[in-house]
Structure formats: structure tokens, C-alpha cells
Amino acid sequence: MTPSSSILKGRVAFFATGNVHKFNEARHVLADFGIAVALLRVKALEIQSDSLKAISEVSALDASKRCRLPVFVEDAGLFIKALNGFPGPYSAYIFRTIGVRGILKLMKGVKTRDAYFKSVISFCDPEGPLECFHGQVDGLISCERRGNQGFGFDPIFKPSGGPTETFAEMSIARKGEFSHRAQALRKFAEWFKSVR
């Protein structure tokens, strides 16, 4: 089913995000479930918290209230063990300031390179309860940047159990086999289909 035929059948999920890369990843995964994704460019409230779930839930409630629509939001972060979870829930800000170069400098000479990417999707229907879906992928921080696909810290993250490519060396489809976001999206899609 193509996205446009899904829209005709009314199976559309509204994604509140300002990040076009996230939107493309969502569109790609949800298409496999016959769900079309509509981009809602609403600046939803984001709280400061060490919990992605808390950030995501508050955003979904706020976005849904503002738009008076059932919407989903996605919040994600890269958590590096040797840096006590940094950049974590503030990955977007930290990417904008010190970037990939800053993370590589912080990790210079550090042997323990374990890290994980985590994603939390929250869906809020003004007339229903809040639903949350999680995805996580373990991996390693590479010693140099590689690849130019994806976004954010993708060029320095190599997922475990896969080949030696970073996320930024993978196509959107390939990244979707491993990624935290794709995992959360698939859980969301299964639930969404079951209730719509």
C-alpha cells in the first residue's frame, strides 16, 4: 500500500517533529504497515529530564492539545557509557554545539567505547490514554567519523551484531534493520494498526 492510498483509507499517523530525517525514517518504516505519515511542524514543549520517556510524554500531550489531533512524537538520544550517559537526552543541543568532533575529542584515548541509542515514541489522542513505545540499539563509538547519510551522531555509531559500518554509512532501509527509532516505530505501527 502506498502512503497516498493509506491516506484515502484514513490510516494516517500525525508525526509532530521539526526533524525531516526522523520524518523520512518514520515514513519508510510505517509504509510497510500501510500507515501514511503526515508531518506536523508544531514546536511541542520539551522538558529537561534525564528520562527520554518523560520528555516524550510531555511533548505528545502538549502537541496533541495544541493541534487537537491524535499525534505521535519521538525523542531519542545517544548514551555513551564512558561519559556517564552524555550526550543523552540533550543529544540535539550537543550535536549543534560541539558536534561529532567534540564527541570524538572527548573519547580520544578512551578504551571503553560502548554506547547505545535509545528512542521513545509517545502517542497521544486527545480522547484516549497516552501510549509509549521504546527502541534501543547497543553499539560502539568509532574512532573517526565515517559516512554521510543519516543525521546527528550517526557517523560515529556502529551498531553491535551488524557489520562494521556506522549508521551514516547505511541506507535508510539498512539503518532501519538495526536502529532504535525503527524498533520503536515498528512497535508503534503494530499497536496503531490494531486500534485503528
Closest listed residue to residue 115, CA positions, set 152, 140, 143: 140
Asked if residue 84 binds a copy of itself (CB under 8 A), the reply is yes
> Is residue 154 annotated as part of the catalytic site, yes or no?
no
Exactly one of 45, 51, 128, 177 binds a copy of itself (CB under 8 A); that residue is 45
Exactly one of 48, 148, 164, 194 binds a copy of itself (CB under 8 A); that residue is 48
Closest listed residue to residue 52, CA positions, set 132, 116, 120: 120
- Containing 79, the helix (H) or strand (E) segment is strand 71-80
CA–CA dist 105, 96 (Å, integer) = 15
Asked if residue 31 binds a copy of itself (CB under 8 A), the reply is no
SS3 9: helix
DSSP class of residue 67?
H
- Shortest reach from residue 130's CB to a copy of itself, in Å: 18
Asked if residue 143 binds a copy of itself (CB under 8 A), the reply is no
- Shortest reach from residue 97's CB to a copy of itself, in Å: 4
Asked if residue 191 binds a copy of itself (CB under 8 A), the reply is no
Contact 152, 145 (CB under 8 A): no
Whether the link from the prior residue into 87 is cis, omega within 30° of 0, is yes
Asked if residue 90 binds a copy of itself (CB under 8 A), the reply is yes
| Size of residue set near a copy of itself by CB under 8 A | 22
- Shortest reach from residue 90's CB to a copy of itself, in Å: 5
Angle of helix 20-31 relative to helix 180-195, nearest 10 degrees, comes to 50
Catalytic, out of 50, 75, 125, 154: 75
* Contacts with a copy of itself, residue ranges (CB under 8 A): 45-48, 50, 55, 83-86, 88-90, 93-94, 96-98, 102, 105-106, 108
